[in-house]
């Protein structure tokens, strides 16, 4: 077997978690990531017949049976993933009963996956139906995006439009807009179900007064979606108290969409 610590999927997780911590998106043990691993990608690094232990998931994910994920652990700090990935990350496979996770690697201290795993797996299930290339779900607490939650109505059209009109790239990067949920208790199946429902329309979902969920075909896409929202939110927040002399108009947003040949939520324009 090859050295798993040199595996691309471990290296990617180490780098992205360190970057998210550095940016202040994942304070303490806040935030979580899960990524679908292709069997061909990991069989050179792991014996897939060796199940270390099984962990109840607390819900049923029958359409994901056999899928393998690398996922951050509950109570784990993103700042620690870089130097001790085996303690802070785990590789799990959804067991044949659909309600149990088989631990194939990681969580060496006896820990387990993030408490948000139900929300992640529900979202994976929905996004895979939308795009079979989908691989990543990423949750974090970016500061300016959160700040907007307190001064912009938690309405999908209003919130999306504020972002679109603030930064030219937004219409190109997320023309499908941003879904928004009201405040809900995290770590529950209820918020997972609500998030998954929104993911039928959006690749980004804001958890009101909490954080954001981003998805993608790979780490770069999921990270880039959140990064673009956060940049626009930052621009909005540092200028919101000043007179608005210039803005990107709806006609200009339409021109951007036409120029980049993107299908956008026309009902989100005024």
Identify the active-site residue in 116, 165, 227, 230.
116
> Catalytic: 227?
no
Q: What does 21-53 look like in DSSP terms, one character per residue? A: HHTTSS-TT--EEEEEE-HHHHTTT--TT---E
CA distances from 59 to 94, 122, 129, 135 (A): 11, 10, 19, 21
Cβ proximity of 177 and 184 under 8 Å: no
**Nearest CA-CA partner of 192 in 139, 113, 265:** 139
Residues annotated as catalytic are 116
């Amino acid at each position: 077997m090859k050295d798993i610590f040199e595996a691309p999927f471990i290296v990617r997780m180490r780098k992205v978690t360190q970057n998210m911590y550095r940016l202040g998106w994942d304070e303490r043990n806040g935030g979580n990531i899960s990524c679908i691993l292709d069997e061909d990608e990991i069989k050179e690094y792991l014996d897939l017949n060796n199940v270390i232990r099984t962990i109840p998931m607390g819900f049923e994910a029958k359409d994901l049976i056999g899928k393998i994920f690398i996922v951050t652990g509950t109570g784990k700090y993103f700042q620690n993933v870089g130097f001790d990935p085996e303690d802070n990350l785990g590789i799990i496979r959804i067991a044949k009963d659909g309600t149990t996770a088989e631990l194939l690697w990681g969580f060496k201290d006896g820990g387990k996956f993030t408490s948000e795993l139900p929300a992640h797996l529900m979202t994976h299930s929905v996004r895979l139906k939308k795009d079979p290339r989908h691989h990543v779900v990423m949750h974090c607490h970016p500061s300016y995006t959160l700040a907007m939650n307190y001064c912009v109505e938690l309405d999908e059209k209003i919130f999306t439009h504020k972002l679109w009109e603030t930064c030219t790239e937004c219409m190109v990067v997320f023309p499908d807009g941003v879904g928004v949920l009201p405040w809900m208790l995290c770590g529950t199946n209820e918020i997972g179900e609500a998030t998954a429902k929104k993911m039928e329309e959006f690749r980004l979902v804001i958890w009101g007064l909490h954080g954001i969920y981003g998805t993608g075909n790979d780490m770069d896409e999921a990270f880039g979606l959140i990064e673009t929202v956060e940049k626009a939110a930052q621009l909005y927040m540092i200028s919101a108290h000043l007179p608005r002399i210039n803005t990107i108009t709806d006609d200009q947003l339409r021109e951007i969409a036409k120029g980049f040949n993107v299908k956008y939520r026309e009902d989100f324009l005024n």
